[in-house]
Each structure stands twice: as structure tokens, then as C-alpha cells.
Structure 1
């Protein structure tokens, strides 16, 4: 029986592929620049399994689950495709590796848009004994190296542009709330894992962002970021948004200067989030408590929870060095370096859509 006609040509159709091929050529050049950058900085490239006991503990991410079968009947274990290689890479820091990076596929179910894909390429790296602000310098040098390799002097995306070779902007989250929304965020932040949302809801309503029934404090922060702040970030020059509230950084250390804030930053270019960085939490007891709180929230919101990677917590108990780490969306970087408008334009073979 013949197959029914497709609503659109498949990715492998020569005409479709010919349109995408220039973006893929840029992907190859950016990949080479990334490896040259890390080789020159003394990093070891590592390769960890995608199958993990825990896919990651971010409450709002959905994972892919599978069963690992052993050689004997009835021998099965539930595993997950990782949403990030973080836990495995941190175990290598405990093992003694001082500088590591990995370019790997990561998996997040339920995500598909012009800038999201259920299977995507994540670039993640860690520095033992070095603070998270060193990662800002890494990002600047790496992004500039990628742009140079692609022959791109400026980035343009979604009606915005920016110059990665100009001085970058460093902006704190509290300053961004004040500048773009007229909200005093720190007056509404008590430093707990689950701050009282009422003061922030009132401030947001006064700024023209009405609250929703059942809003948590973090929900209001995300809405202000999405509606008022992110559309401005990375216009003209890339922007590093730093000093997130501690309750929004489950894997991060608190800032010594203000324990209500975390050693965390995100990188934006042309309104597009590129990277998320942390001064990494090393206290196993605090980490276990944060995992439990996040999974309680996940169960409350989505009716499921992921298992804790006890081997990861054992590694923290053994002693993880003070370190910093960052994850960067490699496909998004290639989009900026190639001028692609959709993430599928920079993927050699996209994942089939649900409707296929």
C-alpha cells in the first residue's frame, strides 16, 4: 500500500537539505572553534552516559524514561535520558579532573519550538578551584571565537541584533527588575526556599503584571522576566544576567555578600538565552534538602518525581572541590552564528514530530 502524501517535505529531501546545508557548514566551523578553545585552555574533553539513574532534578523539566535490561530474566532497572550531564561530570571533579568539558546530546520531553528541541546539543564545562565569574570570561572568549569562525561580525535574531565583540553588559536580576519593571525585588525576597508571594504579587500588579490564582513567588518572578526583562536582554551587546534569588538556583552556592542571592548567571544575546552558570553547591546535606523540596514541588505540580542519584550525593560526601560550572545551548549558538531562524535549520536530522 502506498504511503499517504506528507504535509511537508522531509528533512532529507534534497531541496530542503540544500536550504539547510549552509547552516550546517557553519555548525562544523563553530564545533571546531569550540574544541580549539577548550584545548587551548587546558580542558579535558569527557564523554559520560546519557542513561542515568536521575535525569536531573529541575521541577519543570520532563524526561524520557526507559528500562535497562540485564542479562538474566527479570533483571530490569528504570533509567532516564539525562536532561544535562551535570551529575556525571561532577563525579569526575571528585575523581580529580580539574577542568572538563563535554558536548553531548541532552533530552527534554515536551519541548519543541523555534528555539527548543526534544533532543539537542548541550555544551557543559567545569572549573575546579575557580569562581563562577571566570565563566563570564569563558563565555565571552568562546562566543567571539565561534563568531569569528563563522565569519559573523554581528548576531541577529527575532528582530534584534548585537555585537559580540563589543564590551558585554553585566546586569543583576534585582537591577533588571528595577530598570525594566519598576519593582524592588529584594524588598520582596526573604531568602527562604519558598518566599511569601504576596509582597511580590502586589508589586507586580502595581507594575501592570496582574497575579494569577495560586502563584508561587517563583512564578511571579518568571512572568516578570518573560514579559518585561528578557525581551531587552542582549540588544546591542550580549548581556550577562547575574545574582539570581537563591530559591531559583537549587545547585548553586549563596553569595557571601548577600545570602538571599545565588552565585548564578545566565547569558543572553538578541533576547535568546544561551547559557546558565553556577558557583556550584558542594554541601551534600543542603543539596539533598533542595532536591527533596524540588521533587515535592514537581509532584505537587505534575504528579511525578524523579529519583535522587544517591551516587552523586555520595560523591559530594567524599568531597567535591569548590568549582564553577555552566551549560550552553550549542544549537542556539550555531543559530546566531549562521543566521538561522529555527533550531531545526542547524540540526543534521531533527527528531520526528508527534504528528508524524
Structure 2
């Protein structure tokens, strides 16, 4: 019997078609676990339920209700990342840790996004963020090897995971691909000039909305002009994000306008996001508060701050860390068209 394209994933014939990719996924996972074990990483298992799911403006969580033994309700959230828990473990004394597990993000679904997906996250205490960059690049080559792939593929794009990566700053990428002098819109301490960025975007023919912030315009130009050109031919390490986009990264000691934040791209797809980790509690609290104020302005909601995390940050040692979208890596290694195609059991869509 022939099944239609709408047949469920558990239909035997559909599963038979998907199975080679799923077996490749398992080989990739085993290879990456081996890489981490050889380097004395301890695998940890953070809980999915958190009191705070993170404090970034555009990060949307799934909320749930915990009923205590006394019958009183408490709002908890499914983790959007294991980051807060893992940094508490660094504060507790662990030095090399990794986690491979499920995370959840709301308002996200598409070819590259699933509301539930697998994240690989790892941290190195006392090591520069260049080291976790190198980890990530090495893992991409190992993943390709494990699946017998010669290249990473997405649509008509190709990337050689065995070639030396191209490392460039965000400012250089904006100049190269968008014709925009990004640093000219930042003062010496990293404060932003939204009107200045809007003027430069209009000058290169970009449409600027009537209501904007510097951060919105930055994301717009990054998405439209820069990202589609990254990871073509070889992996791109996009380094030195503006300080205003630092998230949980510390500012660069070389230039206060930028931060020790980088992202890894292949075939125009973001695969990983890494930091030289911020340990200044006051600065982190200020950033979280500003992000939640903006979230409330845009979406009418805010998430609580994780006070335990901020307390742990005060004793956390200097470290570098990175989060990789494991499913996206499998997608590019196998050439799968959608993220659902590389999941053993995709999240059910409405109407299915």
C-alpha cells in the first residue's frame, strides 16, 4: 500500500524512509559523546523544570503549574537552555561539564525550529572561549565522518566541515555583506545609536520601519544581509558581537564596544552560540532587568530572575561555554530538509 505525503511519521513505510537518518543521528551522538569523554567532560543531567526559563527579550518559554503537597500552585517553566543549572554546577566546583538533552522554546516552529529540540551544551573552566570554538569545529568534522558525509548541506548550499573555518567579527561581516559601518553606531563604551544605524541601513537600500530600536535594526540587517552569506564553502565563526547583544557574555578586554560572544554558521544556518562567560553579578542583573523590561514592552509579559543563579554567579570561576543545536547539526550532515526529519518522534502539529 502506498502512503500519502500526509501519512504520520509512525506509518511503517514512512519510518523505513526516515530510519537511515535516525541511525546516522545515533552514530553522530555516540561520536560526540566519545569526543567529550576523551577530554574528561562530565555529562550532567539538568532538570527540565525551572523557576526562570531565562531572561532574553525574544526567548519564549512554556509555562506549567506545580501543585505543592499543600495544594498551593506555583508557576514553573520548561527549560529553554540548561545554562543556569550548569553554571551553578561550575560554582559548586565542576570544571568540565556537558549536557545533551531536550529544551523547549515557544513561538518557534519551521524548517529549522521545533518547539522541543535537543541541545548540546558544554563548559570549560579557566579556558579561553577560542577553545570551545575549536571544540565545535572539531565536532562538526566528527559528525560528518560518523555519517559518511563529505559536506554539510542545506537546500542548495554546501559547506566543507573539514576545511579551516573562516573567523570574522560581526563588524567585519556587516561591512563585507551589508556595506554598513556597525561600530560607527556605537560609542566607546558600547552604547548604541539607533538613528545612526537606521541612516546607514537606508543608505544601502534597506527598508527601516517607523518604530525601531537599535537591537531590532541589528537583528534585521543580520538576518537579511549577513547570515545568508555565512558558512559557505567552510564553517564561519562570527565573533565579537556588539556589547549590547552580549547576553551572558563578558565584554572584550580589547574593545569595550564588543563582547566575547560568537556564533557558528554552516550553509547560512546558525548551529551554535558561545560565550566567554560573564561573572559580574551586578552587570548580569542589569542586563536581565533591561531585557525583561523590553519583553514586557513588546509582549506584555516578563519572567522572574533566577536569584539562585545570580548568587551562584558571584562564586563561579572564569569559564567559557557554548550551546549547539544538535538536531540542526544532524540536518546539515544528512542533508535533511526539515528539523522534524531528524527527530525520532517529531512534536505533533495542530490538526495531526
| TM category, shorter | over 0.9
Q: Secondary structure at the match of 1:262?
A: coil
Residue range with higher mean Cα deviation, 139-148 or 239-248: 139-148
* Contact 1:191/1:245 (<8 A) preserved: no
Question: Residue 208 in 1 paired to residue 166 in 2?
Answer: no
How many equivalent pairs are there? Answer: 349
Shift of 1:7: 8.7
Q: Residues 58, 181 of structure 1: CA spacing in aligned structure 2 closer, same or farther, 3 A cutoff?
A: same
Cα distance in 1 between the residues matched to 2:175 and 2:69 = 59
Shift of 1:310: 0.6
- Written as runs of structure 1 = structure 2, the 5 A alignment for 1:217-296 is 217-296=214-293
Cα distance in 2 between the residues matched to 1:114 and 1:185 = 30
Measured against aligned partners, the alpha-carbon deviations of 1:89-146 in whole angstroms (never above 9, x if no partner) come to 0000000000000001010011111110000000000011111111111111111111
Tell me which residue corresponds to 1:14: 12
Q: Secondary structure at the match of 2:138?
A: helix
* Contact 1:107/1:120 (<8 A) preserved: yes
* Contact 1:191/1:246 (<8 A) preserved: no
Question: Residue 139 in 1 paired to residue 136 in 2?
Answer: yes
Q: Secondary structure at the match of 1:297?
A: helix
Shift of 1:61: 1.5
Shift of 1:22: 0.9
Question: Residue 338 in 1 paired to residue 312 in 2?
Answer: no
Tell me which residue corresponds to 1:152: 149
Shift of 1:157: 0.8
Shift of 1:193: 7.1
Cα distance in 1 between the residues matched to 2:285 and 2:153 = 42
Measured against aligned partners, the alpha-carbon deviations of 1:153-186 in whole angstroms (never above 9, x if no partner) come to 1111121101110111001100011111111110
Tell me which residue corresponds to 1:314: 311
* Contact 1:107/1:118 (<8 A) preserved: yes
Question: Structure 1: where are the runs of 5+ without partners?
Answer: 1-5
* Contact 1:50/1:106 (<8 A) preserved: yes
Tell me which residue corresponds to 1:3: none
Question: Structure 2: where are the runs of 5+ without partners?
Answer: none
Output the TM-score relative to the length of structure 1: 0.96
Tell me which residue corresponds to 2:321: 325
Tell me which residue corresponds to 1:81: 78
Output the TM-score relative to the length of structure 2: 0.97
Q: Residues 354, 264 of structure 1: CA spacing in aligned structure 2 closer, same or farther, 3 A cutoff?
A: same
